[in-house]
Structure 1
């Protein structure tokens, strides 16, 4: 198939996707936010930028990529004080949570990658430097940057051989990779895959998420209400939980003889119905973040965090952590956040796409379970065996320290 034909198919596909998103927005609130938000993108850009502005453009697919890129963004913010920074998101779950981030001057939804939108976006933003984080490769936008000889790099990239870039039908996406002047990958496997298609401007810098979570140790992580709840007892923190993992936790708490152990559950879904479901199934005293007081906190065995934005600090109080997402198929959540505080971590068994999980399992800092029996056994062992608990946690903390440093390599490359 010729290049023009592949390009035509891609562009037709974008227009079909646009129509599909509009239809889906009638039934899905999250998609609706994205559709409406994209309608305002050019208006926001025009009202905040003028042709005399020097700009940098950072693009993240969603919240996870934002957190991944943040340590690099912060360094560039310091170095390019005279530039206006444009931050774009594709997903509402990134934009809606970080639309007021101080890291950028202008924050928008990325317009769909049509040729018209790409020319219009680059005309207005005209970025001196563009940074894409991990993935979310958009050929028309990147080709437009290339045509105008505007710099673009990709950071924290992670590739797998089954991706379209490395298949016969992925020529359009493959060409888009060559618009980047340099790609910083998380691992050697990704570098080798890029070299297999002839892309050689690549550096294995590691994952910037290690730098991001390591910086958490420099912050004030004190939460007085968590300290009151914990009351100097052993504390298990279950973060970003889903129903399949919550079921294991609830069954364990209800049947456990460890009545002096405290549990904190921070569900991924904080809708009232989900929170109520957890509370109703527990046979012990529980308290909600939204209704807490000191007396309830001291007397409760379970503290349910029905808010967002504090989990990374809550992990600092954990003696043992459980991270959700891998008991089902929603995707394992951030295990580096608890690991930086040197605590052992329990996860589900569906973690194949998460190299950091495999690494921490290999060093005996993380434990994968498939069912209630395995969950109970591992948790009991960590609670009862203090030496194992501490050594496993230390392994995770050391793993974070060993793998930080990607930001320095990226910033050194960008210095001119």
Structure 2
């Protein structure tokens, strides 16, 4: 099976190269890895050891960030290297101040694993939630460099637990310790004979709770919202936006802020065509403060924008799966999202608490909006839920301290 894995990695690289001819993200993926080892060698001190954090994308970075920052706080002399797989993580956090350097992760080949690990010279390695790479993990294991997965979550339908998942089970065997989100994940690992796991919860709760305590103030957003109730639609896709447009005219007393997941010019233009009276954040001026709809056309604001909301709509539920509900819940907002949320325990929990509603169509969206607009107590439930789930970061860092 390893030969098939290796062919798959090479094929993936080839496909991305083809896509890079007409896709901006794919182009960033390729360009960011050009001469990557020269960049790494000139950026790092070969005499130092580093703590290596890897994140698939921006969401995983925000998830693992509390652990990184706690380690840096307790061990300020430690040096940190971050790698990202996706451009959406690297391009936003390539200048992250607590890291000595930030790079793209080269594709998982035996040669790349040997070169990268030699260049970083890690004293320990921390991956967040996803991403299990055979050659990187095997090389770390052979060099006896401790490898940890934090905020991991496993489901029975994953390849690790299928009859044909032998290679992937081998990848798991290279991990020194798993910090998992729930008992189900721990039990699934145990069914494979892996007892090196503990239920520590999800570090995202620590991150969003911290953000909600001291959010960045955004003057333009504050002026736009004024004293109106506001619906914040975060990380939306076209399917979400086509539903949301029907809420606007029937609710003139409300303001709507839409933060699309994709903010390229083409998609922003499509949203503006769908909602002609909407104003873009990048061009927001005093004359636009009376607009009912604001489109956020840059990255990095959403987690702070939720502080101005009354209700949140979380996008992605009509595609691969919903995006981050916890950022909104931490500010005490009830949340609405599409039907594909089954991979997200927090979404299920919030529904059980009646602080979230999953919708399938325009009619159900209208009903959910009106229910939450009339009941302000559900927001308190959301906030209390997040607060009760804090503490994962301290548990993880306390365990890691024996290696630091």
C-alpha offsets along residues 1-25 of structure 1, whole Å, 9 cap, x if unaligned? Answer: xxxxx33333343333333333333
**Where does the alignment leave 5 or more consecutive residues of structure 1 unmatched?**
1-5
Tell me the residue number matched to 1:279: 272
Q: Return the alpha-carbon distance in structure 1 between the equivalents of residues 119 and 97 of structure 2.
A: 21
Residue in 1 aligned with 2:131? Answer: 136
For residues 263-313 of structure 1, the C-alpha deviation after alignment (integer angstroms, 9 at most, x for no partner) is: 111122223343333334437x4322122222421x222222222211111
**157, 161, 173: which one aligns with 1:162:** 157
SS in 2 for 1:156: strand
Structure 1 residues 35 and 278: CA distance shift in structure 2, 3 A? closer
TM-score using structure 2 length? 0.95
2:193 paired residue number: 198
Deviation at 1:332, TM superposition (A): 0.8
Q: Secondary structure at the match of 1:16?
A: helix
Any gaps of 5 or more consecutive residues in structure 2? Answer: none
Number of aligned residues = 402
**Could you tell me which residue of structure 2 aligns to residue 3 of structure 1?**
none
1:50 Cα deviation after fit: 3.0
CA distance in 1, matches of 2:292, 2:340: 29
In structure 2, the partner of 1:60 is 55
1-structure distance, mates of 2:301, 2:21: 32
Which residue of the partner structure matches residue 74 of structure 2? 79
Who is 1:394 aligned against? Answer: 380
* TM-aligned CA distance change 1:274 to 1:32, over 3 Å: closer
Tell me how large the CA RMSD over aligned residues is: 1.7
Structure 1 runs, 4 residues or longer, greater than 4 Å off: none
For residues 225 and 55 of structure 1, what CA distance do their matches in structure 2 show?
40
Partner residue in 2 for 1:313: 304
8 Å Cα contact 1:54/1:82 also seen in 2: no
* 8 A Cα contact 1:221 1:316, kept in partner: no
Give distance in 1, aligned partners of 2:75 and 2:109: 30
Counterpart contact for 2:313–2:337, Cα < 8 Å? yes
**Is residue 62–residue 94 contact of structure 1 (8 Å, CA) maintained in 2?**
yes
Aligned match of 2:235: 240
Distance 1:379 1:89, change over 3 A: same
2:219 to 224, 246, 259: 224
- Distance, in Å, in 2 between the alignment partners of 1:226 and 1:35 is 36
Higher Rg: 1
Contact 1:214 1:340 in 2 (8 A): yes
**How many Å apart are 1:208 and its aligned residue?**
0.6
Deviation (angstroms), 1:247: 1.6
Q: Distance in 2 between matches of 1:138 and 1:352?
A: 25
